[in-house]
Structure 1
């Protein structure tokens, strides 16, 4: 994002709220779910991770891997390769014409894992050309709500305190829908928003890129590349007046996890 942009230009940017669910809380964790919303448009995709789910993460999120299939609360879900998920996310961003990408605690966690994955698959330049910058609502909320006596700035607590509702946290799609609603309540001015915009290049990360720059570790049998077949492999469905983009490449049998 150019520093010379005016407040009016900042206010005109589309906003995309995103979240990741991962195998754990460490910087070497793998992505399991990526979700994003912008207005009534949504993207929700799943990945079979290359590393084991940590027990604590599995307990919180409900994800388990059994026989090369991914289960969420005992229901088998459709999965795509990591490359396909990232390319779908980039395509989603490009349709919204270089939006701001917004997440909660994203600078310290989600964006670092996202940057690592993009680097592994040589997609960082394409991603960065598709956005105007990133915003972390955690420090943003701390600045805007500094005069309120809040005991926690966790997203779930902020949504409860400011919106008076509870939601199913630790599901990426529910998290981003709640974050979008929270942002509408926070209503940061362009001047405040400008102070919280960052890029992936500004994130200090000590995580080395350990995966080979190839698609083979990320592909499962029956999956095929998505970039050339985006219209075929990303489905748009109407769901309560929302447009939801869902991967349909890999459809395992729907069976319960045991």
Structure 2
């Protein structure tokens, strides 16, 4: 039985250490989660320009249209529930070891949810170094996610929207088909993400590491965005492309 893979991404108020989460999205096969948060701090102009997200009067707007929002705690609790539904999956994302996961870990720990998240996942893998290793020798100049999707899939997509980013990454991963050893080599946990080189995540006693049996992800087509707060089931410059 193939283990679950969850592709994850954040959109934030900026790229600094003190930036906050504005959008969290995750996808696994046909299951998806897309949630928005009104941040406590101001969004940087550059972040608003590339994401289309702006805060006005304590409401969040995406390209001038209001979007439903939840508290940060509600978003993180929903994300943990999504992960548990999939049975301790492996969480993957592009450049997450240096950006998304430190930000996620800070938010989880501030809200006392760190232990719940750690128990809900098997580990994390950054697809940026994974792609560099897998595609070594291809002569690629850029490993930004948008460039990889264009090069390998011949497609463009609406980058800087977390849901579109994770859908594109899921399809890209299916094309990469990385070796199990490469997946293990680039694995980490929230507790080891600052270590170098990247260690493999340790599985609970009696269990094999998830990446030993992880296969390519299901390739999905873009569909209509899910309503915020719902999981849908059907049938560096920043290397993410920011």
Verify same fold: TM over 0.5. Answer: yes
Closer, same or farther: CA 105–73 of 1 in aligned 2, 3 Å? same
2:108 is equivalent to residue 118 of structure 1: yes
Q: Distance between the aligned counterparts of 1:76 and 1:241, measured in 2? A: 20
Partner of 1:41: 31
Partner of 1:150: 140
Q: Distance between the aligned counterparts of 2:180 and 2:120, measured in 1? A: 20
Partner of 2:90: 100
Partner of 1:247: 229
Closer, same or farther: CA 23–188 of 1 in aligned 2, 3 Å? same
Pairwise CA distance, 1:12? 3.2
Residue 48 of structure 1 contacts residue 65 of structure 1 at CA under 8 Å; is this kept in 2?
yes
Partner of 2:234: none
Structure 1's unaligned 5+ residue stretches are 1-10, 206-238, 249-258
Which residue among 61, 75, 83 is the counterpart of 1:85?
Answer: 75
Q: CA RMSD in A?
A: 1.9
Deviations 1:212-243 (A, max 9, x none): xxxxxxxxxxxxxxxxxxxxxxxxxxx98889
Which secondary structure state, in structure 2, belongs to the residue aligned with residue 169 of structure 1?
A: coil
Q: Distance between the aligned counterparts of 2:99 and 2:24, measured in 1? A: 13
Which secondary structure state, in structure 2, belongs to the residue aligned with residue 246 of structure 1?
A: coil
Partner of 1:235: none
Q: Distance between the aligned counterparts of 2:92 and 2:184, measured in 1? A: 13
Pairwise CA distance, 1:189? 1.8
Pairwise CA distance, 1:245? 6.2
Closer, same or farther: CA 143–240 of 1 in aligned 2, 3 Å? closer
Deviations 1:164-196 (A, max 9, x none): 000000000000000000000001121221111
Which secondary structure state, in structure 1, belongs to the residue aligned with residue 100 of structure 2?
A: helix
Deviations 1:109-144 (A, max 9, x none): 000100000010010100000000000000000000
Q: Distance between the aligned counterparts of 1:88 and 1:243, measured in 2? A: 17
Structure 1 residue runs of 4 or more that deviate by more than 6 Å after TM superposition? 239-243
2:44 is equivalent to residue 54 of structure 1: yes
2:149 is equivalent to residue 167 of structure 1: no
Partner of 1:189: 179
2:70 is equivalent to residue 70 of structure 1: no
Q: Distance between the aligned counterparts of 1:157 and 1:109, measured in 2? A: 19
Closer, same or farther: CA 240–195 of 1 in aligned 2, 3 Å? closer
Residue 41 of structure 1 contacts residue 243 of structure 1 at CA under 8 Å; is this kept in 2?
no
Provide the aligned length of Structure 1 versus Structure 2.
205
Structure 2's unaligned 5+ residue stretches are 196-220, 231-242
Residue 76 of structure 2 contacts residue 108 of structure 2 at CA under 8 Å; is this kept in 1?
yes
Higher gyration radius (CA) = 1
Pairwise CA distance, 1:43? 0.1
